[in-house]
Amino acid sequence: MLTTVILLVTYVGVTVAAMAYAGLGAEGFGLGNEANADDVFFALKDAVFGPWSWLLVVAVMISAVSSTQTTILPTARGTLAMAVYRALPARFASVHPRFKTPSFSTLLMGAVAILFFVGMSLISDNLMQDTILSLGLAIAFYYAITGFACVWLFRKTLRESARNLWFRGILPFIGALLLAAAFVFSVIDMLDPDYGYTVLFGIGGVFVVGVGSLALGAVLMVVWAVFPASRGFFRGETLNEQTEVLVPDEDELVVRHP
């Protein structure tokens, strides 16, 4: 929660500062100038920092490199947790003996991210842009499911206290409803061929990429459900209300299986 507030204050603060300094004019480094639309920081760097403008370029480059980690690290942690509870093959739960990180998951997710980015960039830059726009669908989808799952998991404890009712029931449920609504409305909007940068199969490319990715995930889940190693998870044996926390925390990075 604190990091979210810090990010919000930082983004809003920088935005207000840029508007106050550069204005909204359509000429020069004004924010209304279409020539500056793709990179406002680059347009303002000389005016704001003078001979030290290169620092802003370096800062943006470091930020861009750091943001790529958000593709690898969360998915690596997620697949680690899923593998521990047998929602994925056990190989994904392997932890590096020295660095204490999900080694196989990190390497695999990094390779997939690189191949996906390079492949999309080679095929079409417009398709790459539509891929980025489609990410909101996946985010709304899995966070909505998480909210509903939270309410369902703690349903028997909601009446124990007002705190439980609000933080385990009402707030997660409202959040899940809002995200589910955002998902549905976004899907409807994305069907429009004019939405995004490409048109695939007569509909918006953002819809095809976003919904297609979710559909592919559903197919992979069904395929994994066929394997005997997954039976415990799909029967609710490895992950339920009584399951102990098996995912290693920062003090104990030892992968165990139920």
Confidence of residue 112 (pLDDT cuts 50, 70, 90): confident
pLDDT tens for 188-210 read 999 999 898 888 888 988 999 99
Taking the C-alpha atoms of residue 202 and residue 208, their distance in angstroms, rounded to an integer, is 10
Taken in order 47, 48, 52, 56, is the CA torsion positive or negative?
Answer: negative
Is the Cβ–Cβ distance between 168 and 132 less than 8 Å? no
Q: Which of 34, 63, 36 is nearest to 47 (CA)?
A: 36
Bridge partners (DSSP) listed for residue 203 = 200
Closest CA to 254 of 54, 102, 74: 102
pLDDT of residue 233: 93
150-174: pLDDT as tens digits: 999 899 999 999 999 999 999 999 9
Q: Are 82 and 88 in contact (CB under 8 A)?
A: yes
Asked if residue 219 has pLDDT above 70, the reply is: yes
Residue ranges per structural domain of the chain: 124-235
CA distance 146 to 138: 12
**Which residue in the block uniquely carries the two structure tokens 């695939």?**
200
Q: Where are the beta strands (DSSP E) in 84-147?
A: none
Its pTM stands at 0.72
DSSP notation for 215-242: HHHHHHHHHHHHSGGGHHHHTTSSSSTT
CA distance 255 to 91: 11
